Amino acid sequence: VETELKNNNVEFTQIGKPKEGATVTIKNGNDSFDFDVIETRDTWFKTSYLLDKKQSGEQKAAERFKNFKNQPLKYTFPAHFDGKKITKDTGAKKPKAAIIREKGSNSEREMANAMYLAGFDVKDVHMTDLISGRETLEDIQFIGAVGGFSNSDVLGSAKGWAGAFLYNEKAKMALENFFKRDDTLSVGICNGCQLFIELGLINPNHEQKPRMLHNDSRKHESNFTSVKVQENSSVMLSTLAGSTLGVWISHGEGKFDLPYSEYRYDVVAKYAYNGYPANPNGSHFDIAMMASNDGRHLVMMPHIERSMFQWNWAYYPEGRNDEVSPWHEAFVNARLWLEKR
């Protein structure tokens, strides 16, 4: 580094150098001070803990404070994953996918890109298109309801978005007809998950419906965590069973409140560690992702579409040089399934 700076005539002053061990030594003239890194980090974090205690309460603040240095991100990648982007034959017809969004939505570009990279012909569909009848979804095989804060979460997350489907005949009919077909797939991520749960689309035969509640911490949570993919029937994620993968979360009402035992649901993934903040919302059974009984419809609070590339992850295994992360496979699986229909 010094050579590079000198060669480019960049002035610099050396203020320190690496040393072995978990201590930092600071010198000023004849004075020398040694600081234990772990103790110093605790002191630094304590201010955040005191502020957090006023917002989330003593229990959650203490859980986070005790946790931050004791929860390593450990991954298990699928044995078959080689890090390569799975391309589609350029001459073959692409299945049609649609992004469904509402005012206040976000991450639609990330979702569209994840679909496009997997070989889909992607269409942008706003709720006004469905309400007006300009879009019927008749030629669409895969929909992705995106994240965000539709209608500013007035009356609760996705309540207004769900109402736009329930109380507008053309939008309602388009969605109902889409879900009646047997050649369709869907994924709802974050706000899209809240939408599908609110509409009762994942377990339509259950008398009591799941709910999405405010996080137990009583605040918006945004962090990089990890999930364990369970044995599951999901079209998109069944091939990743047994994996533990990193993923972003960002939500205020992400708690799966489930009225039945865990075994009544097709649980696709759980947060990799029990308790807060690995489970950022307090979801029952640490559930992060669920699917419909036939595996065609998937909901999740984590943002896999924001975690598609190595450089998206807050921490990625050392020594890998992957073109895409394992989450790419989820969207490829969707395309392969549809091509067989």
User: CA-CA distances (angstroms) from residue 339 to 79, 111, 142, 296, 335?
Assistant: 25, 20, 12, 14, 6
Of the residues 251, 305, 328, 329, only one is catalytic, namely 305
Residue corresponding to tokens 């061990």 = 21
Q: Kindly give the residue spans of alpha helices, DSSP state H, lying in 186-273.
A: 191-198
Is 108 one of the annotated active-site residues of the chain? no
User: How many residues are there in the chain?
Assistant: 341
Residue 130 near residue 138 (C-beta atoms within 8 A): no
Of the residues 63, 102, 110, 190, only one is catalytic, namely 190
Is 305 one of the annotated active-site residues of the chain? yes
CA dihedral over 259, 261, 264, 265, signed as positive or negative: positive
The vertex-303 CA angle with 75 and 64, nearest 5°, equals: 65
CA dihedral over 160, 163, 167, 169, signed as positive or negative: positive
Is 206 one of the annotated active-site residues of the chain? no
Of the residues 251, 297, 303, 328, only one is catalytic, namely 303
Residue corresponding to tokens 């489970």 = 279
Please identify every residue annotated as catalytic: 190, 303, 305
